[in-house]
Structure 1
Amino acid sequence: MLRSNLYVQAVAIPDRANALEDALDLLADGVALLRRDGGIVYANEALRILAARGSDFRIDRRTVEFPTMELRTRFAAALSAVQRVEDPPAGFGLADFAVPREGALPPFTVSVRPLTRARMEATQNPDAVAMLLIHDPLQQNSAICRMLQELHGLTNAEAHLVQALGTGMTALAYARSRCVSVTTVYTHLRRTREKTGWKSVAELTRRFHELNVALRAN
């Protein structure tokens, strides 16, 4: 799921015309502020980088373009849904959907949320009514990687492998994404098991999520 707490905290910045945009520029997730018609009035650097990486989605003429009719329809429905509520109730899920990727890679997670009046007042774009967040689970989390290296003596490559497998990526897909052989990946995995004592990929995934939750709570 996307880390909605990030943009909630962003509005606590000192009150000035572009406070919200300044905060969003610091996020690793892609974020855009949208008009009622879905047009982009602001996009942070992370979103532009994600859009430029491949064909999963792109930014064209100040709008976010998804590759299939199904995804475009879901995006339009999400934008329409958030305009009918001022704040999303608990369990509000109509505005969330996944963008699948090729090669068994974990999908992007897309979320559309309404801007409250307070958030509107914190932006220099008064016609913005919604916030789009796109999360890439493969985005490197340097904090988790550092923690794995410090706790278990993993190398940088081994820590990144744990992170990738923890997001559901297969060893084969990871090898392709890193342009290395599957043999190399399994060598890193074997050494990771020896250093951590984790006996299986399932345990590795569970331990990764435990670390992830701990970091979010902090």
Structure 2
Amino acid sequence: MIGFDGVSAQALSDTIGAIYDCALDPHQWPDTCRKIADLCESTAGGICVHDMRQVQNDQLFVFGYQPEFLEKLGKNYAQTPMAAADIVSNIGHVSALSMEPHELLESRFYREVLKPFGLLDIIWFPALRTGGRMASMHASRSEKAPHYQQLDIGLFKLLSPHVCRALTISDALDIRALRSEMLEKTLDVLVAGVFLTARDGRVVYMNDAAERQTRTGNSIRIVNNRISPTDPTARAALSKAIDEASRDDIDMDMSEHSLAIPDVDGAGYIATLLPVDRGQRSGIIAPFAASVAVFTKDPAQAPLMPGEAFARLYRLTGGELRVLLALAQGLGAKEAADMLGISEPTVRTHLQHMFSKTDTPRQSDLLRLLQNSTPQIRAPQQPVH
């Protein structure tokens, strides 16, 4: 049985099935990217995640490329035809560099990025946009093969809607809080530093406290985009801990792991590691392609715990306090449930308990009571006379 101009219907069916399997298990993407590349006789491919705000380009699940090429592509991505096309193209729209062969061969991108590594052509489509990040799937051919033809473009067009849907499903299943601007703001007011790292140890996110810790450089620095404690023993221990926390065979019930990161004066930070790509927290590019969260805190610095005294006063449970603080950040019940990893009915049950304990009739009154109990952090400005 023949499906798409010489590609068997069985091969197409198997590939599309593999694409949707990736929606629930992103670790299957490497094999699926190879299946897609094989269908259009490509020697390399994968998924690119581009952060338009940080002008950062990360290659996920790639194969067939030299590391030097990926590094050079990342540095020059903003000037590539792919970056420009992805901004103006609709999700799923397929493009190939050879669609404009004369412009390609005369371009600096071809001369300085593609040709030195023996690459002839790239075919791709934007597959997902979330905030300032964008994911696209691509495949490429070496100079030993012909340019992509209409048959190859048509095959990519056939597969692109399925890839886009699978990535959208995977993205929707992810813990949305770690991608939300609201949580970013929440992380930025924490006393503890928060570093999110990818599986290879690259730092993909830092909150304000983490940036301040690295700027002082007494205990922690960022070297080659990785957390690098100044103490050699701590540096080796942290690298090993991140690697172990990223492993697929890690115990799902593993307790958080802590280690010391001393500074030159004998003080320093306590680092706590927590895997963030297990179960509900996993996703194709989420959160920020992160695999491990590293929390760094100065033991001598008192933690900022808004609501702790309020909770003790009204005998709120830990779960009730977490719901209250999420709602206080402006989240709705469903958003708070997503952030905390609980159901919306559970959020509403906690609310009812808090209404009873605080003698408030509705959510607005409860939040007003919390606000009134929070001490003023900054002194009011004096009027200018």
TM-score by length of 1: 0.49
Structure with the bigger RCO (C-alpha within 8 Å, sep 6+) is: 1
Higher strand share: 2
TM-score by length of 2: 0.29
If you compute each CA radius of gyration, which structure gives the higher value, 1 or 2?
2
